[in-house]
Amino acid sequence: KNEVEQSPQNLTAQEGEFITINCSYSVGISALHWLQQHPGGGIVSLFMLSSGKKKHGRLIATINIQEKHSSLHITASHPRDSAVYICAAHFGNEKLTFGTGTRLTIIP
Amino acid sequence: DGGITQSPKYLFRKEGQNVTLSCEQNLNHDAMYWYRQDPGQGLRLIYYSQIVNDFQKGDIAEGYSVSREKKESFPLTVTSAQKNPTAFYLCASTRQAPPNQPQHFGDGTRLSIL
């Protein structure tokens, strides 16, 4: 069964802290996505990756194919980073399977 | 700016009533998707369409219907057969090729039962 699991479910941190959100998946994938859902509900695609590492501003996404694991890191976190972060995977040519999300709250 | 527009933002349904959620995109994307989001669960696929005048059921299609008469539009009807329609509904679109492209999402419609 194709499954995507995220941890932690909820994460609260002080402004400036380094944040790590984890995503594990059950079998081999063709691509993995990290998404950000704002408090109003809209979703933005942050990264799509199938190997290695990608960086955009203070956000870094990594994936380890052998360990079936991906991480999303946020450096120098800021209150505006507060959102739900969702991991989603393409298993082969099938449609996206989504994790349940990690709710991140950054306290000033 | 190109994007996906969902309307309305909030919608209320009386029992026995059908309601239609609108989704329009000006990204020239071929594929469009409807997802349902419930608290504590990942997004679940209701229907998707890869080309005009064609669509396929997703994982939870029962009680829903769609049409794809134009490339830009993919409306979702929540019928009275859907017994638990209260949820957040998200529309998305993507290019077909190359495969596994990032999906662009709308801002969602929150549906509640009166």
Nearest chain B residue to A103 by CA distance is B40
Interface probe for B, chosen from A63, A96, A97, A102 (most Cβ of B below 10 Å), is A96
- pLDDT score of A3 more than 70: yes
- pLDDT score of B16 more than 90: no
Q: Within a 10 A sphere around the Cβ of B4, how many other Cβ atoms?
A: 23
pLDDT 10s digits, A60-78 = 999 999 999 999 999 999 9
Residue B1: per-residue pLDDT:
65
- pLDDT score of B53 more than 90: yes
Q: Please name the residue that has the structure tokens 């691509």.
A: A31
B95: amino acid identity, one letter: R
Chain-centroid distance of CA A59 in Å reads 10
Residue B61: per-residue pLDDT:
97
Interface probe for A, chosen from B33, B96, B100 (most Cβ of A below 10 Å), is B100
pLDDT 10s digits, A10-37 = 999 999 999 999 999 988 888 999 999 9
